[in-house]
Amino acid sequence: MSDSRTLRIWDLPTRIFHWLLVACVIGAFVTIKVGGLWLEYHMLFGYGVLGLVLFRILWGFVGGSHARFARFVRGPRAILAYLRGTMPRSPGHNPLGALSVLAMLLLLGYQAVTGLFANDDIFTEGPLASRVSKDLSDQLTRLHKLDEWPILILVGLHIAAIAWYRLAKKQKLTKAMITGDAPASDFAAGADPVRDTAATRLFALVIAAIVAAVVYGIVSLRPAGF
């Protein structure tokens, strides 16, 4: 997958996850602001976010090496070393970026789950809203709305970090997430490429199918007429 001048750092499943999540988050944000009949599409995008977050959590344990939590989630010492510039760059997320990944999964997962119980007091409600009391549904709706700003702030910081790496460090993080490859010279000698084979992609497809079935099962609990 890589030549002597580049290194495969992101497998195809990780890249597809990333861009589908971007599309779903943007779609969910736009449709909730438009409102009205678009709320139905907002919910569909929310189901997409839920499925993608579940997939990424599983992929973080059994997926490509650079996408695994055990590979990029580090302790305070590693974060300090990275901030001081004493840690050589390795493929995948850096120790500080790992915190952003975890925060994004947490906030978006929280948003998707609370959305399952939310309602708009008119004609739209999540598939599990009727499974809890109206008071609890209203409370979870408020929490769902309050999570919007933390998500927007985190997305803004993510975009700012990408721009800083591009301008200050000349590292094209967005391009790497599209092609999967980055210049081998960006990393320490002996850096290993991620495995991105047909078998890896088939395995990811199986996981995605299982996750889709779980999300579909949750959505199917929605009462008829909603």
196 contacts 11 by C-beta, under 8 angstroms: yes
Question: 105 vs 18, 31, 49, 101, 137, CA distance in Å?
Answer: 11, 21, 10, 6, 23
Residue given tokens 């999570």 in the structure block:
147
Domain residue spans of the chain: 14-219
pLDDT by 10s per residue, the chain, length 226: 445 588 999 999 999 999 999 999 999 999 999 988 899 999 999 999 999 999 999 999 999 889 999 988 988 888 888 888 777 777 888 888 899 999 999 999 999 999 999 998 888 899 999 999 999 999 999 999 999 999 999 999 999 999 998 898 888 889 999 999 998 887 877 788 999 999 999 999 999 999 999 999 999 988 765 5
Q: Which residues, other chains included, contact 187 with Cβ-Cβ below 8 Å and sequence gap of 6+?
A: 7, 88, 89, 90, 91
What is the predicted pLDDT for the residue at 4?
58
Among 202, 191, 199, smallest CA distance to 2 is for: 191
Closest CA to 91 of 163, 198, 187: 187
Give the chain as a DSSP string. ---TTEEE-S-HHHHHHHHHHHHHHHHHHHHHHH-GGGHHHHHHHHHHHHHHHHHHHHHHHHS-GGG-HHHH---HHHHHHHHHT-SPP-SS--HHHHHHHHHHHHHHHHHHHHHHT-B-SSS-B-TTGGGS-HHHHHHHHHHHHHTHHHHHHHHHHHHHHHHHHHHHS---HHHHHHHSEEEGGGS-TTPPPPP--HHHHHHHHHHHHHHHHHHHHHHTTSPTT-
| 225: its two tokens | 């007429």
Distance CA 196, CA 200 (A): 6
Give the pLDDT confidence score for residue 61 in this predicted structure.
96
Longest dimension (CA), the chain: 61
Return the CATH number of the domain spanning residue range 14-219.
1.20.950
